[in-house]
Amino acid sequence: MSVGIFNEFAFRRSMSIPEALQIAWVEATALTESGEPEKALELLRSVAWDVCEDGAQKARTLRFAADAGTALGEQDTANQKRHWQRAHKNYRKALNFDPKDKETRRRMNKLSSMMDEQAVSLGVGLQIFDEGNPTPLGLVTFLVAFMLVLVSFKVIPDFFDTPEDNPVVTLEISYMPTGSNERVIAFVEIELYPNEAPLHVENFLLLAEEFRYDFTEFHRIIDDFMIQGGDFGSGGHTAKWYGWCNGDEFDHSGNRHSSDSCNQVDWSLEGEHTNGLKHIPGALAAAHAGLNTDGSQFYIVPGDSTPSHLDWESGKDCAAQGNSCHTVYGQVISGLDHVTAISEVQTSGGDSPLNEVRLMHVTVND
């Protein structure tokens, strides 16, 4: 083992990190550095992930997977775009678990520069079919999936990019940048995380497909904090009945609420704030007026903000601290510069933009 590899880990907190995980990290890094990144990915997938005990360990595992994916893209230039897009996605997911990891952010920024030089977009889609025919990647994917079924019934986590991609939506936003007299049409792409927040993602997609977000406004904007929208009237509510009425499951008589007993404008959603996702720049999260009052409203964190006080932490009393513990359920993958610019527009004393910022349409990408 090289001195560099040893120093990378230094086996910090050795008492709290499983020995099998430490060994897997070292071996995976050695494989990546010796030109065998595919073996490194397989080791991280089959061994390291299963023994992770907390978010910090998952973040480190994802970072090493991204390192391997970056190296694989340099080797397999024919499929470089796909390898690098997966690697970038893994870096982002690592930062969701550990947003203060400067080394992960440094490596992600380096990969972003490499992708920019090669005109590779930051999208995360996998092209399995091309005009109805399976691509080479598609054939390999199907073969690997079949072999995995034969060998094991164990499910591989989504952050190692199984064929089922996370949904991506595009927000078309009209706004007037500070210092400009002309409106700008911005397109902001957001990847949604159904595995981490299935209810919130489903609700958002249903509302988008019903055109409920069309022509709504980002009504609350705070510089260095967030931009908030999604209110289509009376505060906004969920797309369907999820069992919660303005944050309550039961009425004052102890009877469980139903879609009939609860006014539709009060339909709300249970918080999924314990999913481990953090308020990093570009995070999409649910706005609420207290625990389990999530509805249609959402906010996006600009590039110069990290409002960690909204994150859930173990031991935090979310019921007592109603304005904390917000559910993160997506991440901007393109257009974060526009989100930041919107957060800097002129506002009134009530945080309302002086020139309306309007969400024209939400497109659910195929």
pLDDT at 127: 45
CA dihedral 202, 208, 211, 214 (to 10 degrees): 140
131 band by pLDDT with thresholds 50, 70 and 90: very low
Write out the two tokens for 55. Answer: 């978010």
Spell out where the chain has E strands: 129-130, 133-134, 168-175, 184-192, 216-217, 220-222, 226-229, 244-245, 267-268, 283-286, 298-300, 328-334, 358-364
Average of pLDDT values for 155-162?
Answer: 47
- Convert the pLDDT of each residue in 269-312 to its tens digit: 999 999 999 999 999 999 999 999 999 999 999 999 999 999 98
Average of pLDDT values for 182-206?
Answer: 95
- Smallest Cα–Cα separation from 333: which of 160, 95, 97, 61? 95
pLDDT value at 162 more than 50: no
- Convert the pLDDT of each residue in 62-106 to its tens digit: 999 999 999 999 998 888 888 898 898 889 888 888 888 889 988
pLDDT value at 145 more than 70: no
pLDDT at 160: 55
- Smallest Cα–Cα separation from 41: which of 7, 71, 74? 71
Share of the chain above pLDDT 70, in %: 83
- Convert the pLDDT of each residue in 305-352 to its tens digit: 999 999 988 777 887 765 678 999 999 999 999 999 999 999 998 899
Average of pLDDT values for 201-205?
Answer: 97
Q: Checking DSSP bridges between strand 244-245 and strand 168-175, what pairing results, if any? A: unpaired
- What is the identity of the amino acid at 141? T
pLDDT at 146: 62
Spell out where 47-154 has E strands: 129-130, 133-134
pLDDT value at 178 more than 50: yes
Alpha-carbon distance 180 to 176, whole Å?
A: 6
pLDDT at 6: 46
pLDDT value at 8 more than 70: no
The number of beta carbons lying within 10 Å of the beta carbon of residue 5 is: 16
- Convert the pLDDT of each residue in 25-61 to its tens digit: 999 999 999 999 989 998 998 888 888 888 889 899 9
- Decide: 8 and 44 in contact? Cβ < 8 Å: no
pLDDT at 151: 54
Contacts of 230 (CB under 8 A, 6+ apart): 207, 213, 216, 236, 287, 295, 296, 297, 298, 359
pLDDT value at 13 more than 50: no
- Largest CA-CA distance found in the chain, in angstroms, rounded: 67
Average of pLDDT values for 115-142?
Answer: 58
Which carries the bigger pLDDT value, residue 242 or residue 102?
242
- What is the identity of the amino acid at 76? D
Query: CA 308: distance to chain centroid?
Result: 15
- Smallest Cα–Cα separation from 112: which of 141, 92, 132, 135? 92
pLDDT value at 365 more than 90: no
Token look-up 């919130």 returns 200
